[in-house]
Amino acid sequence: MASTATKTCVLHNYGSHVIEELAPRFPKVDFIGIPTEGELSADAAGDVLVTSSLGAPNMAEVLTRGIQWIHVLGTGVDRFPLHLLQDQILTCSRGASALPISEWVLAHMLAYEKNLPDAWISQKPERWFIPPQHAGTLHGKRLAIVGLGAIATETARRALAFGMEVVAFRRTRKPSPLTEVVVVDSLVELLPEADVVLLACALTPQTTELADDAFFERCKPGVHFLNIARGELVDEAALRRALDGNIVARASLDTASGEPLAAEHWLYSHPKVRLTPHISWSEPKALARVYQDFEDNLACWVNGQPLKGVVDLEAGY
């Protein structure tokens, strides 16, 4: 799980300006920049690789240069060429964006319940004190979450503070990190009574288009559907049918299949869709949190300690 050499060599092809700033804090580590395309120099070799979640065109060659551990500067690995890995360890900055993404989810849930921005006025209304449309409340509503990682956990924590009931479905039978969150065994148990459904799971071959017609048919009419994970988790034709058929009353999406979307895509104009361009992670310290995970893991590596955020290559996340 760690380097036994007196000197560790880190190859990096992403975030170079930040990686190089680590040098003063790691005097026993050499940081060497490499290209993302084309052949490597004959002497380019290292124990560790820092790269993007997309990998690089020359990744196959890079991995032959002694690499034992790869860290992806991102929170997901569904676009990383996992098939190229042999016995290397892969880690990612899992959970680094949990806080801002959970706030994005709560903001959209509240906006829907409180009729925002429609309730804002810019001129004198016909009547004060009586709204044209009564606001809803999160209190007492049931939030169903698919996946129970860091993002889902932080979202659940905030939803519980608003008096919501939270249930979750996850791949493993690990207990919930929050005692108030009930973990169920299947989507059949999760969906029918939910007022709000959130996709917060990893994209794998098993979860691709998880939200299909059968998924939405299990939901009760009027559900608020949110996706902050990957667009490919959703069969968008099925989502459109669920919206038009009044099963889904609102779809709040921060991601869509095939990003960036073409200008004529229907998600831009559907009256029940609220779409943001994959920015739920945004906050002042977002990138610093991602890089901090690598710095913490590098300290573990040079000190012979177990790494954090290790990807289960069989599961795909």
Cβ neighbours, 10 Å, residue 300: 16
Tally Cβ neighbours within 10 Å of residue 45.
16
The conformation of residue 90, written as its DSSP 8-state character, comes to: E
Among 295, 303, 4, 23, CA closest to 33:
23
Q: Residue for token digits 């994970």?
A: 229
| Strands across the sheet containing 69-72 | 29-33, 8-12, 48-51, 69-72, 89-92
Residue with structure tokens 């503070």? Answer: 161
Catalytic residue among 12, 218, 224, 230: 230
Strand partners, 273: 251
The SS3 call for residue 185 is: coil
How far from the centroid of its chain's Cα atoms is residue 101's Cα? Answer: 8
Tokens of 241: 């049918």
Residues 73, 292 contacting (CB under 8 angstroms): no
Half-sphere exposure for 165 (CA within 13 Å, toward CB): 9
> Is 278 an annotated catalytic residue?
yes
- Three-class SS state of 116: coil
The stretches of 11-97 forming alpha helices (DSSP H) are: 16-20, 59-62
199-209 residues labelled b (16+ CB within 10 A) or e (exposed): bbbbbbeebee
Catalytic, 259? Answer yes
- Specify the pairing of strand 89-92 against strand 69-72: parallel
Active site residue: 20, 180, 193, 259, which one?
259
Active-site choice (157, 241, 278, 295):
278
The residues that are catalytic are: 230, 259, 278
